[in-house]
Amino acid sequence: MLQKKTSKAAGGVALRVLVASLCAGAATQVPVQASSHREAPFITKQPKVDATDFYMFRSYEAGRDGFVTLIANYVPLQDPQGGPNYFMMDPDALYEIHIDNNGDAKEDITFQFRFQNANKDTQLTVGGKKVSIPLVINGGAIADANAPGANVRETYTVNVVRGDRRGGQRGAVTNATGGGATFDKPLDNIGNKSIPNYAAYAAKHVYAVNIPGCSTPARMFVGQRKDPFVVNLGETFDLINIKAPATEFAANAEKAAKDDLAGKNVTSIELEVAASCLIAGGDPVIGGWTTASMRQARLLNPVPGNAGASKEGGAWTQVSRLGMPLVNEVVIGLKDKDRFNASKPMNDGQFADYVTNPTLPALVEILYGSAGAKAPTNFPRNDLVTAFLTGVKGLNQPAKVTPSEMLRLNTSIAPAAMGAQKRLGVIDGDNAGFPNGRRPGDDVVDIALRVVMGKLCTLNLGCAPSDAPAGGLHFTDGAYLDDSFFTNGFPYLKTPLPGSPQQ
């Protein structure tokens, strides 16, 4: 089991404990972690529409600080060698990124992504007959978009909708070069023989685009990336059976912890949009979240062929939702996880008890109370309402706000350059970091653990220090995260791992 140590830091009895989610192994609770990888029962059946992480931050690339970067990651736990079909997006799904710029918990701007997969049906002549090949690629190395050697072509289109996501005014996002509205998505990183220089190949799929209603061109990329999230999954889910606990008090101690996502990729939908095109009414604060929807009906084809294996129809039905990280894992109860994924922020009142009376701190105390981990005693937990539902006043709370779960970003706060960012964000004095938006380098697990255990009470935000006996303890999940896990420019997430590293 997890080892527990004590230190003279943080008031004399600081807890040095590797807490990877601390819900694992508690009675009827489901283990949590890995941001939103497989977080709800239904979405485990639909990995192509499973949102894993959502990021929203002021761009910190040199010369781009007037922009906001939006990243929605989908399709969790991708093994680089997972061929031959790899991880194409679902052409029968609708992927969306939503922006609320007036605090009413309703989308004001929505970016809608639809994907199309074309089988180019490459054939070889075998014994005098032309026969379709079984692989994604054929022939020479791939270096360009829609290369002749590729057996499939994955493309996508993007609409921007202003107002209600289904009934608002819509227009096509177009290529700033040539004006086309269809964009190529790069093949996944099959391996170094098929795609010898994947970084250069992927860079050819970064587009300058025009967004209707926005005079400043944006940048866009959709494709496979190295999963930037870090977590010790296996041992966490085994009753937090960590073999080499780390502490933040020793230099680089977290490097000893195992990261089970170290060998995994993910598919990213990325937009970099001028901040002036996202805000409204003089309020610099915006809210953001991502969703995926599927058609309400599916008819399976008993004899699949050119018509496909199924026929989809009916209204769009939301099946995945992600704004603030870890909410559906460590806050929402098992019986409501699918309901949360299908809900909209404006209806979040139905989940209020999970925030005001959370179970996670109680479980932490059950597991580690003897080592000093005591749950906060203030109910309702108004500090968590601030963190999860309204934003922090004076930091990232809109002028008018309807309590609802989403990431909130104050676009007037200047970004911190790579190398100057603090992994603990706001609670360590870096107001450009989480929970003021979220950057790839924000250690959201450590931050969330400290907040649910009462860190905001020590700052007199919604509660008093006396309400949180463990509010000053430095909880950590032990997973190592630093500048090496991301890059200093768009698309910010690193090149995906190859399925075959050999040349």
- Tens of pLDDT, residue by residue over 375-420, are 999 999 999 999 989 999 999 999 999 999 999 999 999 999 999 9
Partners of 46 in the β-ladder: none
Task: Residue 266: give the domain boundaries.
Answer: 4-485
Instruction: Output the average pLDDT for the chain.
Output: 85
In whole angstroms, what is the distance from residue 195 CA to residue 199 CA?
A: 9
Q: What would the mean pLDDT of 108-137 be, rounded to a whole number?
A: 91
pLDDT, one tens digit per residue, over 20-74 is 333 333 332 333 344 556 666 667 778 899 999 999 999 999 999 999 999 999 9
pLDDT score for 348: 94
Number of C-beta neighbours around residue 92 at 10 A? 17
pLDDT score for 502: 66
pLDDT score for 61: 97
pLDDT, one tens digit per residue, over 311-323 is 899 999 999 999 9
Q: What would the mean pLDDT of 175-183 be, rounded to a whole number?
A: 96
More confident residue, 352 or 243: 352
Residue 493 in domain: no
pLDDT score for 43: 72
pLDDT score for 246: 44
Q: What would the mean pLDDT of 181-190 be, rounded to a whole number?
A: 96
Provide the whole-model pTM: 0.90
In whole angstroms, what is the distance from residue 95 CA to residue 112 CA?
A: 6
pLDDT, one tens digit per residue, over 323-375 is 999 888 778 888 998 999 999 999 999 999 999 999 989 988 887 787 778 99
Pick from 9, 4, 16, 434: nearest CA to 248: 16
* 15: confidence class by pLDDT, cuts 50, 70, 90: very low
Q: Which of 229-238, 399-408, 457-466 comes out lowest in average pLDDT? A: 229-238
Checking if the pLDDT of 18 tops 90, the result is no
Residue 103 in domain: yes
* 434: confidence class by pLDDT, cuts 50, 70, 90: very high
In whole angstroms, what is the distance from residue 390 CA to residue 385 CA?
A: 6
Q: Which of 2-16, 159-173, 437-451 comes out lowest in average pLDDT? A: 2-16
In whole angstroms, what is the distance from residue 417 CA to residue 419 CA?
A: 6
More confident residue, 439 or 462: 439
In whole angstroms, what is the distance from residue 389 CA to residue 402 CA?
A: 8
pLDDT score for 37: 64
Residue 497 in domain: no
> What does 169-199 look like in DSSP terms, one character per residue?
EEEE-EETTT--S-EEEPPP---TTTSTTHH
Checking if the pLDDT of 2 tops 60, the result is no
Checking if the pLDDT of 4 tops 60, the result is no
Enclosing H/E stretch for 202:
helix 198-203
In whole angstroms, what is the distance from residue 336 CA to residue 30 CA?
A: 12
- In percent, the amount of the chain with pLDDT more than 90 equals 62
b/e map 353-363, b = 16+ CB within 10 Å: ebbeebbbbeb
pLDDT score for 482: 79
Q: What would the mean pLDDT of 233-262 be, rounded to a whole number?
A: 56
Residue 176 in domain: yes
Residue 210 in domain: yes
Domain count, the chain: 1
More confident residue, 14 or 443: 443
pLDDT score for 411: 98
In whole angstroms, what is the distance from residue 396 CA to residue 408 CA?
A: 6
pLDDT score for 233: 64
- Under a CB-based contact definition with an 8 Å cutoff, are residues 95 and 89 in contact? yes
Residue 124 in domain: yes
pLDDT score for 84: 83
> Three-state DSSP class for 68?
strand
pLDDT score for 40: 62
Residue 495 in domain: no
Checking if the pLDDT of 235 tops 90, the result is no
pLDDT, one tens digit per residue, over 194-220 is 999 999 999 999 999 999 999 999 999
- In percent, the amount of the chain with pLDDT more than 70 equals 85
Q: What would the mean pLDDT of 117-130 be, rounded to a whole number?
A: 90
Pick from 499, 495, 478: nearest CA to 243: 478
* 240: confidence class by pLDDT, cuts 50, 70, 90: low
Residue 501 in domain: no
Checking if the pLDDT of 465 tops 50, the result is yes
